[in-house]
Amino acid sequence: MNETYQSLSRSISRYSYAVAISALAMTALVHAQPAQADELAVPEAPAPAAISQPRDDSPHFVGTQPVTRWNERLAPHLDFEVDPLAFAAKGFSLHAGIRWHHFRADLGVFGMEMPGFLTKNDEFTTRFAGFGAKLDYRLFGGGDGPFVGISAGRARVETVHNDTSLSASHHEYDVSARIGYQFDIFRGFYAAPWVGLGYKFGGREVALGGDTLEKGSGVLVFPTIHLGYRFP
């Protein structure tokens, strides 16, 4: 009887241990399944793809329209310039230009009265008027920055003897190289100081009223500043 009882007790104990272990295993499984479900329900977001840097710079304004540096290189732009120093010298200077990429070309008309300190002869007054063309290369594109260029022109020069009002005229031609810098001011308006160095052909000595105006050396040094507007 005792042996039967002890055998039954051992069997119950083994069954209790098995049930307890099974219960613990089920509890662990129940707690583990929600975590796995959560991992399946909310997958990890993929790393964002690298975004390539755009080729354009920040937009800026030309005229009243915003443009980018890249678009500006592709499309030609017209501009208009005046030389205020020529107007101050009882003359005029008007230039229409076109820009594309690094290049600018212009056609212009000009005229002025030569200051006395340049002619070095108070007996005469010298005026000239003509037209010319320029071709520039902009080092940093069509906007502000340094530029270099070449120019050529033709002018009619009139010399008047102040005491007798006698006059004589002839034509002169010039070729030159120039260097300058454009400063953007506001929405298409800009200033461009520059200096040209070249040579004039066709100059002559003028004798009127008993006085003589000597022929110049032909070397041309011309510093000035242009004020302009670049159209969008």
Q: Which residues neighbour 55 within 8 Å (Cβ) at sequence distance 6 or greater?
A: 70
Helix/strand/coil for 107: strand
Q: Which residues neighbour 197 within 8 Å (Cβ) at sequence distance 6 or greater?
A: 176, 177, 178, 220, 221, 222
User: Do 202 and 225 touch, CB atoms closer than 8 A?
Assistant: no
CA distance 59 to 38: 46
What is the reported pLDDT for 71?
A: 54
pTM of the model: 0.64
Would you call 57 exposed, middle or buried from its count of C-beta atoms within 10 A (0-12, 13-18, 19+)? exposed
| Residue 148, both tokens | 């270099």
Q: What is the DSSP letter of 147?
A: E
What is the reported pLDDT for 61?
A: 52
| Residue 8, both tokens | 């039954």
Per-residue pLDDT of the chain (232 residues; tens, 9 = 90+): 445 445 444 544 554 444 445 444 444 444 444 444 444 445 565 555 555 554 444 555 555 545 555 555 568 899 999 999 999 988 999 999 999 989 999 999 999 998 777 767 788 889 999 999 999 999 987 678 999 999 999 999 999 998 898 999 999 999 999 999 999 999 899 999 999 999 999 888 888 888 888 887 889 899 999 999 999 8
Rg (CA), the chain: 44
Neighbours of 112 (CB within 10 A): 20
Q: What is the pLDDT of residues 112-146, one digit of tens each?
A: 998 777 767 788 889 999 999 999 999 987 678 99
What is the reported pLDDT for 141?
A: 76
